[in-house]
Chain A
Amino acid sequence: MFALAGMNGLVIGAIYALAALGVSLVVGIMNVINFAHGELYILAGYFSYLFANAFGMNFALAMTLAVALVFLFGLLIEYTLIRPTYGNDMYSLILTFILSIVLQNAYLLIFGPYPNKPPNWVGGSTLILGSFYYGNQRLAALIAGSAVITLVFLVIKKTWFGRIIRATSQDREMAELNGVNTKRLNMLSFGLGCALAAAAGVILAPIFPVTPTAGVPVALTAFVVVVLGGMGSLWGCVIGGLIIGLVENFGAAYISTAYKQVFSFIILILVLLSRPSGLFGRREA
Chain B
Amino acid sequence: MTLLEGRGLSKRFGGVTALDQVSFSVEEGTIVALIGPNGAGKTTLFNLVAGALKPDAGQILFAGEEITGLTANVTCRRGLARTFQVTRPFATMTCLENVAVAVVNSPRSRANGTWRLSAHECLKAVGLGDLAHIEARHLNVVQKKRLEIARALATRPKLLMLDEVLGGLNTQEIGQAVDFIRSLRDEHHLTVFWIEHVMGAIMQAAEKIIVLDQGRRLMEGSPEEVVKDSRVIQAYLGD
Contact = CB atoms under 8 A, between A and B. Distances in A.
Contacts of B98: 167
A209 B72 CA distance: 47
Given A160-B110, A163-B93, A180 B101 contact: yes
Query: Which size bracket describes the interface of A in this complex?
Result: 10 to 19
Contacts, number: 66
B93 A178 contact: no
B50 interface: yes
B101 A177 contact: no
B97 to A, nearest CB: 5
Contacts of B222: none
A160 B76 contact: no
Q: Give the interface size bracket for B toward A.
A: 20 to 34
Query: Do most interface residues of chain A lie in helix, strand or loop, or is the interface mixed?
Result: helix
Contacts of B73: 176-177, 179-182
Given A160-B110, A170-B91, A178 B52 contact: no
Interface in B99-152: 100-102, 104-106, 110, 115, 151
B90 A171 contact: yes
Most-contacted residue by chain A among B50, B72, B82, B98 (CB, 10 A): B72
Contacts of A182: 73
A167 B76 CA distance: 16
Contacts of B25: none
Contact of A178 (B92, B105, B115): B105
A194 B104 CA distance: 25
A46 B73 CA distance: 39
Interface of B: 50, 52, 71-73, 76-77, 81-82, 84, 88, 90-93, 97-98, 100-102, 104-106, 110, 115, 151, 154-155
